[in-house]
Amino acid sequence: MSEAAPQIRHYFVDEAGDLTLFNRRGQIIVGQPGVSRCFMVGVAHVPDPVAAGRALSDLRAELLADPYFNNVPSMRLEAGKTAKCFHAKDDLPEVRREVFKLLPRLGAKVQVAVRRKTQLAEAARLMFRASGRRMPEHDIYDDLVKRLFKNLLHKADQNRILFARRGKSLRQDALERAIRKAQRNFESTYGISADRPTTLRSNYPSESAGLQVIDYYLWALQRLYERGEDRFFQLLADDFRLIMDLDDNRNKPYGEWYSDHNPLEWQKIAPVAD
């Protein structure tokens, strides 16, 4: 008998919001125009990335062929937006609606870690006063990656993780360290090995359907947190497996975690302060 093919899990990682905390005078500017109130990192497990890519490509071709979108700037290839890939922030509302209708059929399962930037700013101030060191943005991102993958890396024989590019740097070594920390944390918590062959790459969303998928899930969650709009989130709510609101410490020191046992609803979210 031939050996069974190894089970491979495909993960796609992106972020929503920004990590701007202060202006040049050291004043907190969280929530001001162009500055988000939260920073999120999310991961989508997409069971069949090839099928997801085909479905998104077919939808994009259908929309581009629709006369309704004739002469729409974002639908022109030279604009580098919807005609190139789906991106929730840039897509027209009519386009978003079609993408939201498609996404639940792709079987994605999503986890997100949320930081509230007012609390991040206070922590950064304390760090600077105590040590003279500034809080590196990459450290915040890498910490959320570590948290997200703690309970994911043992589920298959192999893991393939694709990160959305952050700026010009690939940061391969730092991301690998974050993944190794996630494996060690799982092993120390449960006494079970999470050491699986794991490959890490970074790419642009236009080159990966999975990155376009996680972008939409994060956009919907960000609108819920920052604007109180739950209609987008509700379209995808069943696909969110875990949302870690790490700075909502009203009930637990490690934050509020939303899952099937504690579904996220707008009324449950602590106000996101400016």
Taking only the tens of pLDDT, the chain with its 274 residues reads: 456 678 999 999 999 999 989 888 888 889 888 899 999 999 999 999 999 999 999 999 999 999 999 888 888 888 778 999 999 999 999 999 999 999 999 999 999 999 999 999 898 888 888 887 888 888 899 999 999 999 999 999 999 999 998 765 556 778 888 899 899 988 889 888 888 999 999 999 999 999 999 999 999 999 999 999 999 999 999 999 999 999 999 989 989 999 999 999 999 998 885 4
Q: Would residue 63 count as lying in a domain?
A: yes
Q: Would residue 273 count as lying in a domain?
A: no
**Residue 137: predicted pLDDT:** 84
Q: Would residue 39 count as lying in a domain?
A: yes
Q: Would residue 92 count as lying in a domain?
A: yes
* Residues contacting 45, CB < 8 A, separation 6+: 9, 10, 11, 108, 109, 110, 152
**DSSP for 209-228, written as a single string:** HHHHHHHHHHHHHHHHHHH-
Distance CA 113, CA 143 (A): 10
**Residue 233: predicted pLDDT:** 97
Query: What are 103-107's contacts with CB under 8 Å, separation 24+?
Result: 103/213, 103/216, 103/217, 103/235, 103/236, 103/239, 104/235, 104/236, 104/238, 104/239, 105/55, 106/46, 106/48, 106/51, 106/52, 106/55, 106/213, 107/46, 107/47, 107/48
Q: Would residue 274 count as lying in a domain?
A: no
Q: What angle do CA 20, 145, 90 make, to 5 degrees?
A: 55
Nearest to 214 by CA among 49, 37, 34: 49
Question: 78 is written with which tokens?
Answer: 């030279």
Backbone angles phi, psi at 206, to 5 degrees: -65, -15
Say how many domains are in the chain.
Answer: 1
Residue pair 118/37 in contact (Cβ under 8 Å)? The answer is yes
Query: What are 251-260's contacts with CB under 8 Å, separation 24+?
Result: none
Q: Would residue 111 count as lying in a domain?
A: yes
Distance CA 76, CA 116 (A): 36
Cα dihedral: 33, 15, 128, 25 (round 10): -20
pLDDT in tens, 20-45: 898 888 888 898 888 999 999 999 99
Q: Would residue 233 count as lying in a domain?
A: yes
Q: Would residue 3 count as lying in a domain?
A: no
Backbone angles phi, psi at 74, to 5 degrees: -70, -15
Sign of CA dihedral 207, 211, 213, 217: negative
CATH of the domain at 155: 3.30.420.10
Domain ranges, residue 247:
8-268
